[in-house]
């Protein structure tokens, strides 16, 4: 495990990007966040604003029509959108998750087929690994893919698919050789118009209500043979390599949610008076704010270190990627809970965004590997 943690520096371009995304988020995303949550509707305003500004998928290389930004820039975009609306931050986050296997392992031809439409904003991509009986134990998946001439035929069901029904493309893991366990899993790209592909009803959820989560079904779903990502049997390896790059992006989302809640709490305690003085003058509450800010900053630094090391392709990323995701998501849950507490009765109402942020924060401890799984990954790395 590399102990050198002094491993990134924000450039002027990163700071300019943060300013641009923050301005856009406050002006074009924040005003709709409460309604998106309340109505459980897709954040079309955010999608249009992000696409128009080119912030939907900044890490796509220039040769495929993208901006060629680094992964740290991708994290900054997600963080700043999540600061005002977690549901909207899943637009760049899930694009990143869905296309990372393609960036890591696909042929040039497949990249050319899929990435330009995502770069232009014309399409989005989702990621399909989990099944009802194969969540944390993803290698026990049942979805099958069989080669038939110049096509692959997929059968099975994937669940908890973020932005399903809104995405055009789906990166799908399926078993191609049942006798080989994890080495018998391959990765594919499915298009929403492929015959035999269907999308299920929306799940009813605690948070991220603006981002649809659905099952997707493959019933003799037939795709061209060239839509396999990498070699047959390498899909699970690609999935694990993907998580090393994308777990820090969930950390970035969590940091954004926590920062948004902290900002609101600070503003509130400076204005609200009790016992003849502002809440901000009570030392007990000052200490709460100090602890919240300390945790947010620690989480942010760890996320930036993890994503910078993934960008450089360092070995043994498991520990740092899991640590970043785990610390940041635990921080988001803790900070949003404290923000609700600092706002008191007002914090428990929908008049303020902190109750929404608290509900949205919870999923960051669960998806892309529960925090219990992250701790297993870290422990294995330490004991190896």
Q: Which residues are catalytic?
A: 368
Contact by Cβ (8 Å): 212, 36: no
Distance CA 311, CA 176 (A): 30
Distance CA 358, CA 25 (A): 19
Q: Where are the beta strands (DSSP E) in the chain?
A: 125-128, 144-148, 151-162, 169-175, 185-191, 197-202, 213-224, 228-229, 273-274, 277-278
Residues in the chain: 384
State the burial class of residue 209 (Cβ atoms within 10 Å of its Cβ: 0-12, 13-18, 19+).
Answer: buried
Contact by Cβ (8 Å): 210, 43: yes
Tell me phi and psi for residue 55, to 5 degrees. Answer: -105, 10
Distance CA 351, CA 101 (A): 41
The crossing angle, in degrees rounded to 10, of helices 44-53 and 86-105 is: 50
R_g (Cα) of the chain, nearest Å? 21
Distance CA 261, CA 342 (A): 10
Contact by Cβ (8 Å): 256, 185: no
Distance CA 125, CA 164 (A): 9
Please identify which residue in the block is written with the tokens 């998806």: 367
Contact by Cβ (8 Å): 139, 175: no
The angle subtended at Cα 219 by Cα 217 and Cα 223, nearest 5°, is 95
Contact by Cβ (8 Å): 358, 337: yes
């Amino acid at each position: 495990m590399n102990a050198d943690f002094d491993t990134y520096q924000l450039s002027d371009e990163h700071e300019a990007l943060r300013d641009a995304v923050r301005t856009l988020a406050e002006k074009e995303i924040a005003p709709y966040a409460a309604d998106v949550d309340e109505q459980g509707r897709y954040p079309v305003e955010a999608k249009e604003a992000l696409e128009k500004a080119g912030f939907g998928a900044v890490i796509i290389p220039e040769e495929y029509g993208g901006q060629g930004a680094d992964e740290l820039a991708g994290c900054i975009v997600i963080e700043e959108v999540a600061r005002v609306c977690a549901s909207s931050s899943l637009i760049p986050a899930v694009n990143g998750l869905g296309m990372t296997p393609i960036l890591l392992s696909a042929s040039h031809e497949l990249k050319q087929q899929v990435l330009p439409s995502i770069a232009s904003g014309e399409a989005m991509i989702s990621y399909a690994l989990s099944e009802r009986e194969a969540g944390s134990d993803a290698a026990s998946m049942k979805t099958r893919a069989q080669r038939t001439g110049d096509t692959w035929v997929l059968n099975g069901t994937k669940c908890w698919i973020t932005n399903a029904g809104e995405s055009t493309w789906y990166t799908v893991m399926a078993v191609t050789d049942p006798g080989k366990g994890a080495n018998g899993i391959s990765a594919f790209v499915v298009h929403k118009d492929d015959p035999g592909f269907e999308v299920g009803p929306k799940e009813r959820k605690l948070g991220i209500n603006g981002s649809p989560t659905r099952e997707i079904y493959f019933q003799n779903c037939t795709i061209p043979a060239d839509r396999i990502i990498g070699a047959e049997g390498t899909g699970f390896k690609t999935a694990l390599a993907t998580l090393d790059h994308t777990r820090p992006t969930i950390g970035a989302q969590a940091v954004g949610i926590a920062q948004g809640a902290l900002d609101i709490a600070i503003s509130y305690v400076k204005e609200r008076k009790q016992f003849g003085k502002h809440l901000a003058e009570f030392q007990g509450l000052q200490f709460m704010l100090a602890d919240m800010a300390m945790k947010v900053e620690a989480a942010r630094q760890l996320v930036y270190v993890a994503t910078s090391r993934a960008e450089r392709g360092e070995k043994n990323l498991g520990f740092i990627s899991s640590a970043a995701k785990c610390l940041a998501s635990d921080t988001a849950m803790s900070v949003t809970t404290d923000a609700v507490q600092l706002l008191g009765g007002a914090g428990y109402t929908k008049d303020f965004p902190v109750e929404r942020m608290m509900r949205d924060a919870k999923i960051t401890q669960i998806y892309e590997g529960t925090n219990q799984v992250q701790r297993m990954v870290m422990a294995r790395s330490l004991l190896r």
